[in-house]
Amino acid sequence: MGSEFLSLVQDPAYWDSLAKIVPKALNETIYMVVVSTFLAYVLGIPMGVFLVITSANHVLPNPWVERTLGTIINIFRSIPFIILLVALIPFTTMVVGTRIGTTAAIVPLVISAAPFVARLIESSLKEVSHGVIEAALSMGASPWQIISKVLLPETKSPIILGIAITTINIIAYTAMAGAVGGGGLGDLAIQYGYNRFRTDIMIITVLILVVIVQGIQWVGTTLARKLSHR
């Protein structure tokens, strides 16, 4: 086994074969993760903000909106991703014009991550004390000013940490997105490593994923610490 491995890593043809598949998969993963995370926040931030401001004793209390939004979020969060992936195929086709491929995989990733993001944003924004909101109200702040000048800036750190968590979750989900031909590192690991017994490729992709996840967590933690003035 040892000598086999040695001869393998010394063979330039081996590296050529890796160079054909690994960077491509890495690119696909980065593309899916970055775009999905971004879109999940575009959808999730307003939902989270609405959940918070419409809650009792907040700036725009509205039990009806709070409950309806909360229920929708819970429903989407309780559907297993693999089922969502399949169930959303007609919708995906409508939105991006195709049901397979990397871009097609982004749709279910976003739909699945956005409600999660909404809950993360909600729990972050709830950390802002009632007193601080009241102080802003006493100065004549409008609901929009409270959102943009108090709630979001005061919770930069937990929001950044949340982005790290979401990104890492989405990376894990992209592996499943392989089921709709999304590609990416996770898919590579399954296709080669599991289906074709290429343990080496499995190990390489997992190592790359570990490095990416560690890196994202490190960046998130460091940024969050920098931005926190507590």
Interacting residue with other proteins among 26, 141, 179, 213 (CB under 8 A): 141
Of 18, 135, 203, 207, the residue at the interface with other proteins (CB under 8 A) is 135
Measured between alpha carbons, how far is residue 4 from residues 9, 95, 200, 204 in Å?
A: 9, 49, 12, 17
56 sits near other proteins (criterion: CB under 8 A): no
Give all strands (DSSP E) within the chain, no chain letters.
Answer: none
Per CB under 8 A, the segment of 36-44, 69-77, 128-136, 160-168 that binds other proteins is 128-136
Which strand (E) or helix (H) includes residue 198?
Answer: none
Taking CB under 8 A as the rule, does residue 20 contact other proteins? no
Closest of 81, 77, 98, 80 to residue 89, by C-alpha: 98
> 3-state class of 59 per DSSP?
coil
Contact assessment for residue 54 and residue 66, using Cβ atoms and an 8 Å cutoff: yes
Per CB under 8 A, does 153 bind other proteins? yes
| Residue 227 in contact with other proteins, rule: CB under 8 A | yes
Kindly determine how many residues on this chain lie close enough to bind other proteins according to the rule CB under 8 A. 21
Residue type for position 173? Y
**Contact region with other proteins (CB under 8 A), list: 12-20, 115-123, 141-149, 190-198:** 141-149
Give the binding site for other proteins (CB under 8 A): 129, 131-132, 134-142, 145, 149-150, 153-154, 156, 227, 229-230
